[in-house]
Structure 1
Amino acid sequence: MIELRDFSIGYGSHTLLREVNATIPKGTLTALLGRNGTGKSTLLRAIAGLNRNYSGGILLDGRSAADMKAPEMARKLAFVTTERTRIANLRCEDVVAVGRAPYTNWIGRMQPQDREIVMRSLAQVGMEAYAGRTMDKMSDGECQRVMIARALAQSTPVILLDEPTSFLDLPNRYELCSLLARLAHEEGKCILFSTHELDIALSLADGIALIDPPQLHHLPTAEMQQSGLIEKLFRTPTLPANYFQVP
């Protein structure tokens, strides 16, 4: 579970979010929506502990994120960024095995149970047959599944994803978000992902977190659809009748 308590963040004199309160429960898939530049990535990075320049509190499963050292944070939260990953000569199972780092011994040696978790994580995303392949020879969709498998191998109650459908075609976008919904429901995880795919978010997410600076509106998807908040935020401003007239 993710809790924001009187949470404020921005940069310079620009405020992105001010005194926000929200609770994102476990076992749900939540889509983070907002216009470009309104702070979606900034919020995710703050929750992940990568940006401490905020006021208020962030709680992960009831524990203050600000009080967590790196090893504890790595056991609470996994973060899949929007960057493409292409690692030559490194097999998929080795990439996923990085997720077990918070649990291995001081020399990083995996135990048999760790290897079982790696293979199970690959199977959960339908990539077990790719365990021995290298990611430089795979499609963007396949690589994104491997990175989600690495997050699963980390065995955290919270997973964050920043634009996970970037670089994917429409069928793969829908398939990937369907996978995230299934993982949230079957594994009981709290999954929060930022996206521009409004139609996919409304059809697959349990809840919508909508950034409308300096506010964050968080509602179940059906209630958000009926609220009018999405239409208000994304409505194209009407131009005056004489806008295109030459002076």
Structure 2
Amino acid sequence: MIELKDLTLGYGQHILLDKVSTEIATGQLVALLGRNGTGKSTLLRAVMGLEKPQEGEILLDGKQVARLKPEELARKISFVTTDKVRIANLSCEDVVSLGRAPYTNWVGRLQEEDRERVTEAMRLVGMSDYAGKTMDKMSDGECQRIMIARALAQDTPVILLDEPTAFLDLPNRYELCLLLKSLAENARKCIVFSTHDLDIALSLCSTIMLIDNPRLYSLPTSEMVKSGHIERLFRNDSITFDPQEMRVRVTETGKIP
């Protein structure tokens, strides 16, 4: 379980989140929503231990993330960034195998169990046929799937993803989020991902976390829809949110921010 306690994040005098508190339970798929620049990536990095809070603390199963050793953290949280990754001198299978680093011996030698987890991770994201290929010859979406497979191979109870669907077309976005939902529910993982795909978040996620600076709202999806927070955050001349249908309608020139 992830717990935020009176957490304040920001840069200098610019406060993104001010003394926010919430809990994220095991077995949940959680979508993190917010406009560009509101701190979604910063919050994920803070949970990962890569960003130092100005105040407050982040707990993972009751332990402060800031006090966990790197090897402990690597066995508890995996992180997929939104950065485009191109690794030319490693096969996709080797890239995914890096996710097993927290479990291998000092020379990094994979055991049979490690190889099985790598194979299964690639199968889950539909990339088994790419095992011998290198990422410099693949599309953005294919590379993103490989990085997600690496996180799955790491086999952590918590998976954080920063806009994992950014480079995927709509059918593949939905398919990927269905996979994340299955992992959360069946493998009892806590999965949090930032996204601009509001329709997918509302239809598949058990919980919605919404940043409306400097506040953070975290509610079960049905309660978030009724709360009016989404309508208020995304309200402008080109976007209409229908809480009854849980759908976003965008005019011809409008874009979700």
What stretches of structure 2 of length at least 5 have no aligned partner?
A: 239-257
Question: 1:147, CA displacement in angstroms?
Answer: 1.0
Alignment correspondent of 1:120: 120
Q: CA deviation at 1:159?
A: 0.5
> Could you tell me which residue of structure 1 aligns to residue 16 of structure 2?
16
Shift of 1:185: 1.4
Which range is displaced more, 9-18 or 73-82? Answer: 9-18
Are the counterparts in 1 of residues 158 and 189 from structure 2 also a CA contact under 8 Å? yes
Paired with 2:128 and 2:61, the residues of 1 have a C-alpha distance of 30
Corresponding position of 1:214 = 214
Once residues 114 and 234 of structure 1 are traced to their aligned partners in structure 2, the CA distance between those partners, rounded to angstroms, is: 44
- Number of corresponding residues: 238
Alpha-carbon separation, structure 1, partners of 2:140 and 2:223? 34
Q: Where does the alignment leave 5 or more consecutive residues of structure 1 unmatched?
A: 239-247
State the one-letter code of the partner of 2:31: A
Instruction: Write the letter of the residue equivalent to 1:114.
Output: D
1:155 aligns with 2:152: no
Instruction: Return 6-15 or 129-138, whichever deviates more.
Output: 129-138
Pairwise CA distance, 1:237: 7.2
Q: Distance in 2 between matches of 1:169 and 1:121?
A: 21
Structure 1 residue 228 displacement after superposition? 0.6
Look up the SS of the partner of 1:159 in the other structure: strand
1:64-83 matched pairs, under 5 angstroms: 64-83=64-83
Q: Which deviates more from structure 2 when the two are superposed, residues 218-227 or residues 47-56? A: 47-56
Matched, 1:98 2:119: no
Say if 2:7 and 2:53, in contact at 8 Å, map to a contact too: no
Moved over 3 A (4+): none
The structure number with the bigger radius of gyration is 1
Please identify, of 155-164 and 127-136, the stretch whose mean Cα deviation from structure 2 is larger: 127-136
Asked which structure has the greater RCO (Cα within 8 Å, sep 6+), the reply is 1
Q: What's the counterpart of residue 165 of structure 1?
A: 165
Give the superposition deviation at 1:73: 0.6
1:17-42 Cα deviation digits (max 9, x unpaired): 11111111111110000111111011
How far off its partner does 1:61 sit?
Answer: 2.1
Deviation at 1:139, TM superposition (A): 2.6
- Corresponding position of 1:197: 197
- Whole-Å separation in 1 of the counterparts to 2:149 and 2:167: 18
Q: What's the secondary structure of 2:192's corresponding residue?
A: strand
Partner residue of 2:48? 48
Kept in 1, the 8 Å contact 2:87–2:136? The answer is yes
Q: Distance between the aligned counterparts of 1:120 and 1:199, measured in 2?
A: 29
For the Cα contact (< 8 Å) 2:16–2:214, is it kept in 1?
A: yes
Q: CA deviation digits over 1:159-198, x for unaligned, max 9?
A: 0000111122222222221221112112111000001111
SS class of match (1:107):
coil
CA distance in structure 1 between the aligned counterparts of 2:224 and 2:163, rounded to whole angstroms: 20
Two-structure CA RMSD over aligned residues (Å): 1.5
Q: Percent identity?
A: 66
Identify the residue that residue 223 of structure 1 maps to in structure 2.
223
Q: Give distance in 2, aligned partners of 1:178 and 1:36.
A: 24
**1:18 match: secondary structure:** strand
1:31 aligns with 2:45: no
Deviation track 1:120-169 (CA, whole Å, cap 9, x = no partner) reads: 21122222232222222223222222111110111110000001111222
